[in-house]
Amino acid sequence: MNSVINYAHRGASGHCPENTMVAFRRGLELGATGIETDVQMSKDGALVLIHDESVQRTTGQHGEISQLHSDEIRRLDAGSWYSQEFAGERIPTLDELLDWAASTELTLNLELKNNIEPYTGMEEKVIEAVRARGLEERTIISSFNHYSLVTCKRIAPEIRTGILYVENLVDPWNYARNIGAEALHPYHLTMESFIVRHANAAGIMSNPFTINDPERMQQLIDMGCAGIITDYPDRLDEVLRSVVAQSNKPL
């Protein structure tokens, strides 16, 4: 198969409630070769997988992750908001995801959500959990908080980091290299072929987000992106299979 990594964004979030174990498992079933997820930290220091700093949108309850105990978070229903089919799905911990992923060949893109809430000590906790399962080579730590990425690289130089950004940056491949990052994780509309070309030449991967349109997926593949982050890994899998089929056609 094509070497482009198919990252299921918050799991297969186009089909299942985001950042739940059912979404991660469904992503793998639909052809994902990577999982993207969001890491936050509870009041008692547990690492939990949820995008928002509040639980309201995905559970219908009130409270900030940083102010809730992990036991309180684990009791919440994170599936019913999406569909009653998923009623009772829980907000998973990072440990749950890593334990499951360790038995697969998935690449993990762990986004530290510490650009709003500082979550002191999060970097050490995430790295400890990754190292405990020997997943260093299959993990990329990303964040909009680039100071946090520098901290991660200082603690664990063997784990790759990726800079998240949504605006156009000048020579982002140079910036990434200057802070020790190995990957660009931009909003996909900022991604252009000359950026990918320069990044690849500098040894910097390009993993744009979030692409659900097959035509745009094909454009980014043609540019030479290393990975694509999508809510629909099945769509990307189909595009990648088509690329392989075309390349195998006899001349």
Please enumerate in sequence order all residues whose Cβ is within 8 A of that of 114, keeping only pairs 6 or more positions apart, or say none. 122, 143, 145, 148
Q: Which of 15, 51, 69, 185 is catalytic?
A: 51
| Residue for token pair 């809510």 | 231
Place of tokens 């309180």: 72
Name the catalytic one among 9, 15, 185, 188. Answer: 9
Could you confirm whether 146 is annotated as catalytic?
no
CA angle 22, 33, 79 (to 5 degrees): 15
The secondary structure of residue 13, as a DSSP letter, is T
Rounded distance between C-alpha atoms, residue 122 and residue 52, angstroms = 16
238 with 232: CB under 8 angstroms? no
How buried is 180 (Cβ within 10 angstroms: 0-12 exposed, 13-18 middle, 19+ buried)? middle
Is 62 tagged catalytic? no
**Which residues participate in catalysis according to the annotation?**
9, 51
